[in-house]
Chain A
Amino acid sequence: MRRSASSVTPPAERKTEVAKLIDVSKCIGCKACQVACSEWNDLHEEIGFNTGSYENPHDLSPDTWTLMHFTEWDNPDTGQLEWLIRKDGCMHCEDPGCLKACPAPGAIVQYSNGIVDFISDNCIGCGYCVKGCPFNIPRISNDTHKASKCTLCSDRVAVGQGPACAKACPTQAIVFGTKEQMKHHAEGRIADLKSRGFANAGLYDPLGVGGTHVMYVLNHADKPSLYAGLPDNPRISPVIEAWKGATKIAGLAAIGFAAVFGVVHRLVAGPNAVTPDEEKAAAKLTEGGA
């Protein structure tokens, strides 16, 4: 298990990695997953407004950990209008940007099965995870000042159950199992899609973040960004890497160097003290005028 802002050594042996596979080609956009998520996690999103899209609410929030995005796309190759529906939420990166950015020890953990979880008791609400995430997933509540996101139902997985969203999905567009099983399952789905004319069908398991524990089967895997801006090549921002890498070490070293320089200089140069002659000269100047 990995732990934010801590120097614990991960155990040599990992639990079997788990993964959730979301097959967008089988999704009918019913939002049963969204409802199951809020039900299981006891989330109460505010009632919003209809702006002419099925997308509701309009963004992830502290009370919406998964959200169906609806994109209408004119496929220039076929002349067909395609309705691309993608269930958005935490991707549970193998190399999580949120965990890298987090300053609070133990506020973000990655279990050895790959699930990335936020531990609210340790969270200080700084929002660094929001900047660390390459997928724009974590949200900070302005009421509780805690970060939240999909837990991959770590509490259900711990007792051998699948995530609530997978359980609720009526078309089995969401399936859950070991990462190997899910990759294998995806292969079958991709072969099927290819045989039905989706030449670019493929698996979304981006290497830039070391792979993810939530994967997509996309019918246009060559263009992930079609699906409501799913990043084509996600990776932890180099700015975040520089901040949490070189800056952290070089910064403290520079401060330490300045302090050591002062001590050494004081020892070598001695105090810079006023002499009695200088006091006399000042007295003469002051009393005598200019």
Chain B
Amino acid sequence: MTRSPQLHPGDPVIVDRYTAAARANHWVTAVSLILLAVSGLAFFHPSLFFLTGLFGGGSNARMLHPWIGVILFVSFLGLFTKFWRENLWTRVDGTWLARLRDVLAGHEEKLPEIGKYNAGQKMVFWSMSILILLLIVTGTIVWDQYFYDFTSIPTKRIALLAHSILAIVAIIVWIIHVYAAIWVRGTIGAMTKGTVTGGWAWRHHRKWLKDLARGKSDDDMRPAE
């Protein structure tokens, strides 16, 4: 059996985790999400209104926010189509989640062997998928410049409240996502260079590494036949 071309022997072993296209897609999503959070928070709390200065004032921030939302939605759709299959829930995810205490303590030796994504990563993926879908819907309802006539004022009020709460949850999911990437050393390289070390894969995603060693490649990494 030949190993997957994603594996590059050496000291340390280097493993390809994300293609350049996936990384570009990720960073477009990341930048739009941050710009949306900054401009959105500025409208959310008066003490943060000064953040509209980054967009050239309140009116510009108001005008840009929904368009950045459209970019985020389309960009995230790209990530979704690439990664949804690898994020489907499996039995091992339940075990991982039940041992969250060991996860947080860093005792990964007590956890089952994990594929490309663990339950935490999958929950970030699915919660962001749902949140972004609901955010684009509620956001469109209050995008008065183009959609004012389509809904009633009571509907728009509920959309505003829902949009705010969903955005808060999305920002919290984002904090978890970023913190996990910082806490688990060697992760950031997956999204900058596209690679991780063999030891990283062994420690956090051993089943994924074993599959690669057995010659199975990731869906979006399989070389063209």
Contacts and interface: CB of A to CB of B under 8 A. Distances in A.
Interface of A: 5-7, 103-105, 122, 124-128, 130-131, 136, 140, 142, 145, 237, 239-240, 242-243, 247-248, 251-252, 254-255, 258-259, 262, 265-266, 269-276, 278-283, 285-287, 289-290
B175 A258 contact: yes
B62 A126 contact: yes
B86 interface: no
A35 to B, nearest CB: 28
B168 A290 contact: no
B62 A251 contact: no
Contacts of A258: 171-172, 175-176
Interface of B: 1-3, 7, 9, 11-13, 42-46, 49, 52, 57-59, 61-63, 104-106, 108, 142, 144-145, 148, 153-154, 156-158, 160-161, 164-165, 168, 171-172, 175-176, 179, 182-186, 197-203, 209-210, 213-215
A147 B12 CA distance: 62
Nearest to A277: B199
B172 A279 contact: no
B198 A286 contact: yes
B202 A262 contact: no
Instruction: Report whether over half of chain A's contact residues are helix, strand or loop; otherwise say mixed.
Output: helix
15 contacts: A103-B49, A122-B58, A125-B59, A131-B156, A247-B168, A254-B172, A258-B171, A258-B172, A266-B179, A270-B106, A274-B199, A279-B198, A285-B209, A286-B209, A290-B214
B197 A255 contact: no
B214 to A, nearest CB: 4
Given A103-B49, A239-B157, A248-B44, A124 B62 contact: yes
